[in-house]
Structure 1
């Protein structure tokens, strides 16, 4: 550890390397396969997308093979770059936790944190009022995360201590704060459309009125934090 007693947790080097190598190789293989079957697809009168396949089949060799391999590698590198931008890293220190993803960085003060746990692939940081300060998708090693937080004195929990308090959200169900129904309704639509940025923003808005939300697939489950219970 450095002078600030900071413990970083990142994805293993082999896992990062696999992404940077695997996606380009996969991209090259897929596009080479498309190029290789183009003539056969064009010969089938019932096959869909015959126009694009006819265009591919019209490219002479070796340009067709070299082009498909090169384009596949390029596409794979783009996907690997996007994956790198979404990769979470964590820095745990005695006084704070810093969550980094792409160019974004969030610092959570130690005095606000009551516990940390993993909910499947989600790293969850709980606040003093039972609210969630963070819920971040993560492929970080569980053992390294647990060791880092425990080393700096944070309560590492085996599971969500409030899991039994969640109820599945149904529109206009009793007990949901009036303002939350509209937000949950909008969030349900965003989940259905895969609009991840809106999903995250609406989670933040719900937290401000004391509602904690998590999802299983497209289904939403909610509970009240202590702030919401007092309101």
Structure 2
């Protein structure tokens, strides 16, 4: 049996390497410079956080320099790790699509995908009921995504064909299925707190009720799914 022909769209290796190496180096440099000027800042009566700066200035050399460089590098590694966790990888093949992010692996059969488009920095997979199978933030090249999906015969759309169907959500909005208002209210709070994981889970819950939701600057907009003719 022939191996499945797959097109993978991911951030360039050079960019990934730059983040993995550059962030720890930048963190080490920034914290080292802070430590080097800690005594001067601590002497400024109006400067904030004088306690931490006095503590930094009191560390004898060379331990102050060694500690600040190590702490900065660790902070940079933490930021690089968060970036790696949030990085999206898209695998497209004739039989379906796979989205990988932070250890989460989502698969979509080709028969369920009616179209694909970009909404700003989000990749959206449309379902056959006009709902959204996935809406994922990404930093991938749009032309590479378009080429990958078109190569495997998916319908690549110029934009959201149902954008005009969305309505602004306010608490108590009528015409929504039972339970949807409560979920949207909880999701509004998740957006306010920038809890992306909870907001994504609530989007999935709303999708099961036949409600498609998108947000702009933490304002929610909704529409109902409907069967394709």
Give the TM-score range, shorter chain. Answer: over 0.9
* CA distance, structure 2, for counterparts of residue 36 and residue 160 of structure 1: 52
TM-fit CA distance, 1:22 = 2.1
* CA distance, structure 2, for counterparts of residue 128 and residue 224 of structure 1: 13
TM-fit CA distance, 1:173 = 2.2
- SS state at 1:226 partner: coil
1:29 corresponds to which residue? 29
TM-fit CA distance, 1:46 = 2.9
- SS state at 2:221 partner: strand
2:51 corresponds to which residue? 51
* CA distance, structure 1, for counterparts of residue 30 and residue 218 of structure 2: 30
TM-fit CA distance, 1:176 = 2.6
1:13 corresponds to which residue? 13
1:92 corresponds to which residue? 92
Q: CA RMSD in A?
A: 1.4
2:126 corresponds to which residue? 126
Taking structure 1 as the reference length, the TM-score comes to 0.93
- SS state at 2:37 partner: helix
TM-fit CA distance, 1:61 = 2.1
TM-fit CA distance, 1:157 = 0.6
1:141 corresponds to which residue? 141
1:155 corresponds to which residue? 155
* CA distance, structure 2, for counterparts of residue 196 and residue 115 of structure 1: 25
Taking structure 2 as the reference length, the TM-score comes to 0.94
1:60 corresponds to which residue? 60
1:79 corresponds to which residue? 79
1:104 corresponds to which residue? 104
User: Does 2:183 match 1:183?
Assistant: yes
* CA distance, structure 2, for counterparts of residue 215 and residue 21 of structure 1: 34
Gaps of 5+ in 2: none
Moved over 6 A (4+): none
TM-fit CA distance, 1:21 = 2.1
TM-fit CA distance, 1:109 = 0.3
Q: What is the number of residues matched between the two proteins? A: 226
* CA distance, structure 1, for counterparts of residue 15 and residue 221 of structure 2: 32
CA offsets per residue over residues 67-112 of structure 1, 9 Å max, x none?
A: 2112211211121122112211111110010111122111100001
Answer with 110-119 or 37-46: which moved more. 37-46
- SS state at 2:192 partner: helix
CA offsets per residue over residues 100-145 of structure 1, 9 Å max, x none?
A: 1122111100001100011111110000000000011111111111
TM-fit CA distance, 1:155 = 0.3
TM-fit CA distance, 1:51 = 1.3
1:214 corresponds to which residue? 214
- SS state at 2:207 partner: helix
* CA distance, structure 1, for counterparts of residue 46 and residue 147 of structure 2: 58
